Chains A and B, each alone.
Chain A
Amino acid sequence: MKAPALLRAFLPALICILVFVSCAGIGAQDWVRTGTNLSNTTIRLAASDFKPVGADPQTPTLKSVFDATLAKDLDNAGIFEMVSKSLTPQSMPGAPNEIVLSQWSADPANAAMVAFGALSVNSGKLAVYGWLFDTRNTANPQVFGQQFNEAASPEMARTIAHRFADAIIYRLGGGVNGIAETKIYFVSSRTGSKEIWSMDYDGENQQQITHLGTIALSPRISPDNSRVAFAALGDGGWSVRMYSFDLGRLVSFPAGTAGGSNQSPAWSSDGAKIAFSSARSGKPEIWVADASGSNLRRLTAFGTDTSPSWNPRTNSQIAWISGRTGLPQIYIMDMDGSNVQRMTDGGYAVSPNWAPNGGLLTFSWNRKYGPGDPGGQDIYVMDIASKRWLQATHESGSNDFPAWSPDGRHIVFERTIGGHAQIWSMLADGTHQQQLTHSGNNFMPNWSLK
């Protein structure tokens, strides 16, 4: 059921890129703006402040958290043209019988859709009623309504806003699930050593996961969100380690310890396998093992191969980087090591990450690399079938480790400016860039699959 819907959603994006690229011509592209899983027309959406009901003293705080989170989530989604709150009607409708649609459809709001509802706190419980109305369909305006009941706390007010936003995004965004409840895993050195951390997709709720006191790199969250794989330096060199959220501790991954030089793990999207780089046979090569650590096998044989990423749609291909011809380039291959294709035509290309739709890669590329030829390390998005690409970041710091959001509309990445590395996110066409971390130095983000 889902695959056709996804395909439908991604197809316009692909076409859009191809058309744009073929018009512009390869190699002469700069500041290209095009949609990546983002529809051509955006819906003008108004998010009304929710109506506070009752006199519980917690209500004003939770309402302001809820209103701000909902508005930010809908704006972040990248598929709406949000109506500025200064243009929305003064009225604060709390129920379908309280909304006057003409106020919202008329100028200056001129909204096609309006999200509204009511919020109340009763004996420690937060109740939210939310509706999405189509302002032009006066006869039958309700798109959907939803009711939420959770403990009355700012965290749950945020969670409810995330869920309501995701429901709106799902209905209006071509059946693609929203990302407001997803998480981003990353490396932070803010405590003095590089440890694995997590945060909500919008940068809120940052939490430390590992406390190893050594160097932990390359976190990759399992598709079911139960484990995070990463590389850590120990007495015997680098190992691929595994932290279980169910057990709250590190768990064994025997394939990741032998040989002392194992790094850059990557989950297949079904959670069954892990690819990683290991030098146990001499040079760094791509290896694959079951998630349990058994059935280990080697896929490459040329050396300096690392940073694998699965095609999440098929799990039958891997993208990775290889220095077999000198500077690192992006390659793809089938799971038996055959059909090796080089994707980049020069420069310094690293950190590939395969899009959920299976058709696009994002990676970090310095196309004019080398002494006396200083180019920028920027984030690129490439259509695999045509090898045509667009540049998503421009003239702003050194950018690396891009990773797709599960809806394929966003990319999270590491940006270093003046020696300070922070996590940023953007829409996949490079717009809507925003900094998510501000404390210490933060690296190597990875987006959860749900």
Chain B
Amino acid sequence: MIFIDVLNGVRVIPKRDTYMQEGRSRQVKRGIFTIVVLLIAVVAFSGCNKKPLPTQAEVLPPPPPPAAPIAQLTATPTVISAGDQVQLTWRTMNATSVIIDGIGSVPTAGVKTVTPTQSTTYHLVARGEGGSADASARVTVNAPVAVTVPVTTITPEEEFKANVQDIFFDYDTADIRSDAQATLQKDANYLVSHPDIRVVIGGYCDERGSNEYNLALGQNRADATKSALVEAGVADGRIRVVSYGKEKPFCSDQNEQCWQLNRRGGFTMAR
């Protein structure tokens, strides 16, 4: 029904009137024919509507091509702050389908309220039998006032990672290196001051050597790391150890830099 109403509404162009009227109401046209036939009264003929007489040309001109659609789109207001509303208003003619980008199919005329979060150009495309037309409306969104209150987004895990750092080992040994002592002291300090945290120490090895022996070696590395923490005052019961051997490498290249990264005692928070 809306569709037909729209078509009727479109017929405001005078030139199209005769054609559209003929198309719309055959009943009226047949009445005119009957009168004409009676007036002339020469012979009765059939199929008169298919074969109009020359005199009928003034009454029924040949149908013109379908008219091109016309579209109009406005936004009110055109400048807003983030979070404010904008009213989009659109009208079209000769259109059978209307689409607004980002909104989808809409009636051929209407009003819609939108809340853009950033500057947006709304773009409308109207399609009809006579082609298509488009229209656009630009809404400028001014940025909101910046929040000046700093937000703490660091999670307990991130804080743990930042304060409890992994230590590294020399090749084929579980001895704590001198450069690991300072790291371990910092790790222990953090853990002592956060007595609720439980920790898992993973023992890791580089890819060289045998899987089973590396599991034993990784166990020794994890144990050595644990002993150092316990010596520095972390309660034994808060620490669990697991050897990953060479099964869970951090780095898979075949060079000393990568192997060093994989020879470690690694800390994670226990779940």
Contacts and interface: CB of A to CB of B under 8 A. Distances in A.
B242 interface: yes
A348 B215 CA distance: 15
Contacts of A348: 209
A238 B212 contact: no
Contacts of B212: 217-218, 263-264, 277, 306-307, 321, 350-351
Contacts of B247: 194, 215, 217, 233
Contacts, number: 86
B242 A279 contact: no
How many A residues touch the partner, as a band? Answer: 35 or more
A304 B222 CA distance: 13
Contacts of A364: 210
Given A326-B172, A351-B210, A364-B210, A263 B223 contact: no
Contacts of B209: 328, 348, 350
A303 interface: yes
Contact of A237 (B213, B216, B242): B242
B220 interface: yes
A309 to B, nearest CB: 11
Interface in B244-259: 244, 247, 254
Interface string A219-256: 00000000000010100011000000000000000000
B172 A327 contact: yes
A29 B188 CA distance: 53
A12 interface: no
A282 B223 contact: yes
Nearest to B244: A233
Interface of B is mostly: mixed
Nearest to B171: A371
Contacts of B240: 237, 260
Contacts of B223: 279, 282-283
A261 B213 contact: no
A305 interface: yes
Contacts of B18: none
B243 interface: yes
A284 B172 contact: no
B243 A238 contact: yes
B242 A284 contact: no
Contacts of A277: 212, 215-216
A444 interface: yes
Contacts of B241: 237, 260-261
Contacts of A218: 211-212
A217 B171 CA distance: 23
B167 interface: no
B242 A263 contact: no
Interface string A324-351: 0011100000000000000000001011
Interface in A349-365: 350-351, 364
A443 interface: yes
B9 to A, nearest CB: 64
Given A261-B215, A283-B223, A323-B216, 10 more contacts: A217-B247, A218-B211, A233-B247, A261-B242, A279-B223, A282-B223, A307-B213, A328-B210, A328-B213, A443-B211
Interface of B: 171-172, 209-213, 215-217, 219-220, 223, 240-244, 247, 254
13 contacts: A237-B240, A237-B241, A237-B242, A260-B242, A261-B243, A264-B212, A321-B212, A323-B213, A328-B209, A350-B209, A351-B210, A364-B210, A401-B210
